[in-house]
Structure 1
Amino acid sequence: MHIHIGASQTGKAIKITGSRSLTLRNILRVAKHVKGMDVIGIIDCHSPEVLQELKELEQNGYSQELEEGGLLIDGLTLIPGAEIEINDEHCKGPIHVLVYMPSLATMESLSAWLTPRMKNIHLSSQRMYGSALELQEFVKNAGGLFIPAHIFTPFKSLYGKGVDSSLTEVLDPALIDGVELGLSSNTEMASRLEELSPFTFLTNSDAHSLEKIAREYQMLSLKKPSFKEFKMALQGKNGREIIANYGLNPYLGKYYNSVCETCFEVYPPNSVNCVKCGSKKFIKGVNDRINELQGTRTSKVNRPPYIHQIPLEFIPGLGPKSLVKLREAIGTDMDIIHSSTQSQLEEIVKPAIAEQILSARNGELSVQIGGGGTYGKVILNHPSKSKK
């Protein structure tokens, strides 16, 4: 539910740091046929060029707006969204939030409302000059959903800065539909904060390239794939719910550990300076930030299971050509990661790589912890003696 558009159909940049191959049509194809998704959220749909392309797809008969919200395109439901930066007098630094709208018309109304409040409505994740509450109220009055994004990352997130940060300082809790955890945290970590007890947890990829789509996602129980059903799942109403959150082992995230800002050496809690270079500046990791915030009480809410998933691009020795062959022979990435058999895998790749994929599924791979903007790494397991 957090996929960026790198470039419009005319080649204009939308997400500056996104891959130019992240076009609308490429995203739709990869999300459905390569990754195995049923519902996705593209969060740059407020951009006029993206809106225009979506309208053209509808006019040409490639998509249709669903009565209960969302767009049906080639068997995939797209929920139009926007990522917006807020930084009013209550924030301790820029904060990113996600907004989802039920239709193109309501997304157009959001785009029009944002245009005089942004310097460049065409680009992704731009700062809105106004209050967070003002944005929340507009979104809710338009029938949309409001979700703080990657809430623990050191930069541009709700809890990223400020020792005493609290959700209620910045936002109206009654107008929040869920919170997005980010790649360096999971349910257990986020549950240490009691003030998050009322909110549904979402796990999303924040994809800046096609390969990053679906590295994190949620499995939902819905009657049909639509905006209305997604909203009910967030609220846990009428049997709709999040069945499970799938995501990276937080160790693989870019910001789990605190590291020195100069040399990226791990920076232990309560350190005065870096043990390697002496610098006093550091990038605080998500784990340390949560420990700093949690206080003495933790959330006791029953939550769906959080299933650690290692994307195929993290598997040591699995190159792009072999990955293509696996997809052609077995199916989507979800098929390969979660249900392929050893014999199926070994027909395509070396036994050692097949064993890595199965070990990843079983949570048996060792991980080098990430931090300071660098992803963690999977450490190569030696093949078992029976496979030598």
Structure 2
Amino acid sequence: MKFYGDLHVHVARSIKGAPVKIAASKNLTVLNILEKSILKGIDIVGIVDGASPLILEELKEYIQEGILFSLEEGGFRYKNKVTLILGSEIEIGKEEKGSPHLTCYFRDIESISLFSQEISKYIKNINLSSQRVNLTSVQVVEIAEKYSGVVIPAHVFTPFKSYYGSSTDRLKYVFKDFYQYIYGVELGLSADSDMADQIEELQNKTFLSNSDAHSLEKIGREFNVFDIKEANFEEILLAIKREKGREIVKNYGLNPKLGKYHRTFCLDCGYIAKEGPPVKKCLKCGSSNIVLGVKDRIEEIKDYDTKHPLFRPLYVYQIPLEFIPNIGRKTIEKLVNYFGSELYALHHAPYEELEKVIGPSNALNILRGREGELDISAGGGGIYGKVTIT
């Protein structure tokens, strides 16, 4: 069976209002995330602040009240419509260079609670999201393995807080003998499979496309299509490992140009590079005070031009509804009310039905987005790329 899964969503606050992810929209609570996932059309959602004791306490209450139902093979079911997977994104503090983010996923509340207790010894405030841990990547993998967790390098190419972006040229240098336990990597919004498959050491790794949502609206802006028997932790892990016939059969993600760090950005004059990569200084004002783009970084460290392994699934570009000009919140609500989910409207709804709901112009732009016919100017330096209608 096919399930849509977004495994990287932040929780901003506990249900009692205590902060968890400070740099996120305040309405990102566990229950709001689950409800929004249903409206988006996401079947599996992973929260990456699940090791916070504030969230663990809240989840235990939901289980006792019957709001969440524990699944025997890991994860939780909500309203029999969406599966919740528990994860913890942390910042590695003891690498030779940089402070990359690593996400650890766990099958049940007992496992992530034990992980939380142990990892809290090396973190100043375990209640807050993505805190720096006074450990190496290898040490975190060892702790996660102890509690049957799986680790995924997060947004692996972005200029800040990632492995390739700010820490190393090769994951093998960092993870050493534990590299074999890295079954997949998260590409991030500014990269795709074509770009990542220019690095030889990633040829046997599964690619994950997740939203890294800091607001409810961003859930599902990137997601994975899992071909698994049931929506639970063990089946997802099999898919990431590509075992027993389980696998990810499609990655849906932003056109990388829409990502905030796709091309090199000049911090002095604000110019976003348009020239061939790698651009390592501003070609407009000559400044070296730049944020190196993901495309530019990959060009700098790649082994060869794109070579996809046979198992690599199709990467489908999607332009989320909120990126399409003239489609605002009210228009999206109309689409959801009519079609049942945003993702169905975005990818599957026929033109004739779209036209009935939102008119011919907006319907045509959704179809043009599906076909890659909308013009996009690249983002960089923390500024999203932009869709223009011509």
For the superposition of Structure 1 and Structure 2, which TM-score range results when normalised by the shorter chain? Answer: over 0.9
| CA deviation after TM superposition for structure 1 residue 59, in Å | 0.3
- Distance in 1, matches of 2:10 and 2:59, equals 15
State the secondary structure of the residue aligned to 2:62.
helix
Does 2:59 match 1:51? no
User: Structure 2 counterpart of 1:15, which letter?
Assistant: K
Does 2:159 match 1:148? no
2:169 corresponds to which of 158, 165, 171: 165
- Distance in 2, matches of 1:99 and 1:21, equals 24
Does 2:348 match 1:339? yes
| CA deviation after TM superposition for structure 1 residue 278, in Å | 4.0
Q: Deviations over 1:114-143 (max 9, x none)?
A: 111101101000011112111101111211
Does 2:210 match 1:201? no
2:336 corresponds to which of 321, 327, 338: 327
Instruction: Give runs of aligned pairs for residues 277-292 of structure 1, distance below 5 A.
Output: 277-292=285-300
| Residue 128 (structure 1) aligns with | 133
State the secondary structure of the residue aligned to 1:350.
helix
Sort the Cα spacing of 1:98 and 1:342 in 2 relative to 1 into closer, same or farther, 3 A: same
- Distance in 2, matches of 1:27 and 1:272, equals 39
Does 2:359 match 1:350? yes
User: Structure 1 counterpart of 2:105, which letter?
Assistant: Y
Q: Deviations over 1:205-231 (max 9, x none)?
A: 000000000000100111111100001
Does 2:36 match 1:25? no
State the secondary structure of the residue aligned to 1:2.
strand
| CA deviation after TM superposition for structure 1 residue 41, in Å | 0.5
Q: Deviations over 1:177-227 (max 9, x none)?
A: 210000000001000000111211000000000000000010011111110
Instruction: Give runs of aligned pairs for residues 1-388 of structure 1, distance below 5 A.
Output: 1-32=7-38, 34-75=39-80, 76-90=82-96, 92-161=97-166, 165-171=169-175, 172-267=178-273, 268=275, 269=277, 273-296=281-304, 299-302=307-310, 303-381=312-390
- Distance in 2, matches of 1:125 and 1:252, equals 24
| CA deviation after TM superposition for structure 1 residue 299, in Å | 4.3
- Distance in 2, matches of 1:3 and 1:145, equals 17
- Distance in 2, matches of 1:270 and 1:253, equals 17
User: Structure 2 counterpart of 1:333, which letter?
Assistant: E
- Distance in 1, matches of 2:121 and 2:278, equals 44
- Distance in 1, matches of 2:234 and 2:92, equals 26
| Residue 385 (structure 1) aligns with | none
User: Structure 2 counterpart of 1:323, which letter?
Assistant: I
- Distance in 1, matches of 2:233 and 2:74, equals 5
- Distance in 1, matches of 2:44 and 2:323, equals 24
- Distance in 2, matches of 1:273 and 1:192, equals 23
User: Structure 1 counterpart of 2:136, which letter?
Assistant: S
> Conserved in 2, the CA contact under 8 Å of 1:330 and 1:344?
no
- Distance in 2, matches of 1:205 and 1:293, equals 25
Sort the Cα spacing of 1:63 and 1:270 in 2 relative to 1 into closer, same or farther, 3 A: closer
- Distance in 2, matches of 1:271 and 1:209, equals 32
Query: Runs of 5+ in structure 2 lacking a partner?
Result: 1-6
> Conserved in 2, the CA contact under 8 Å of 1:86 and 1:128?
yes
User: Structure 1 counterpart of 2:299, which letter?
Assistant: N
State the secondary structure of the residue aligned to 1:100.
strand
User: Structure 2 counterpart of 1:204, which letter?
Assistant: N
User: Structure 2 counterpart of 1:100, which letter?
Assistant: Y
> Conserved in 2, the CA contact under 8 Å of 1:70 and 1:78?
yes
| CA deviation after TM superposition for structure 1 residue 272, in Å | 7.3
- Distance in 1, matches of 2:185 and 2:84, equals 20
User: Structure 1 counterpart of 2:253, which letter?
Assistant: G
> Conserved in 2, the CA contact under 8 Å of 1:193 and 1:294?
yes
User: Structure 1 counterpart of 2:119, which letter?
Assistant: L
Sort the Cα spacing of 1:88 and 1:298 in 2 relative to 1 into closer, same or farther, 3 A: farther
Sort the Cα spacing of 1:168 and 1:313 in 2 relative to 1 into closer, same or farther, 3 A: same
| CA deviation after TM superposition for structure 1 residue 369, in Å | 0.8
Sort the Cα spacing of 1:89 and 1:307 in 2 relative to 1 into closer, same or farther, 3 A: closer
> Conserved in 1, the CA contact under 8 Å of 2:194 and 2:308?
no
> Conserved in 2, the CA contact under 8 Å of 1:181 and 1:202?
yes
State the secondary structure of the residue aligned to 1:189.
helix
Give the count of matched residue pairs.
378
Q: Aligned-residue CA RMSD in angstroms?
A: 1.5
Task: State the TM-score, normalized to the length of structure 1.
Answer: 0.94
- Distance in 1, matches of 2:337 and 2:285, equals 49
Sort the Cα spacing of 1:116 and 1:197 in 2 relative to 1 into closer, same or farther, 3 A: same
Sort the Cα spacing of 1:106 and 1:282 in 2 relative to 1 into closer, same or farther, 3 A: same
> Conserved in 2, the CA contact under 8 Å of 1:194 and 1:297?
no
| Residue 3 (structure 2) aligns with | none
| CA deviation after TM superposition for structure 1 residue 168, in Å | 1.2
> Conserved in 2, the CA contact under 8 Å of 1:63 and 1:73?
yes
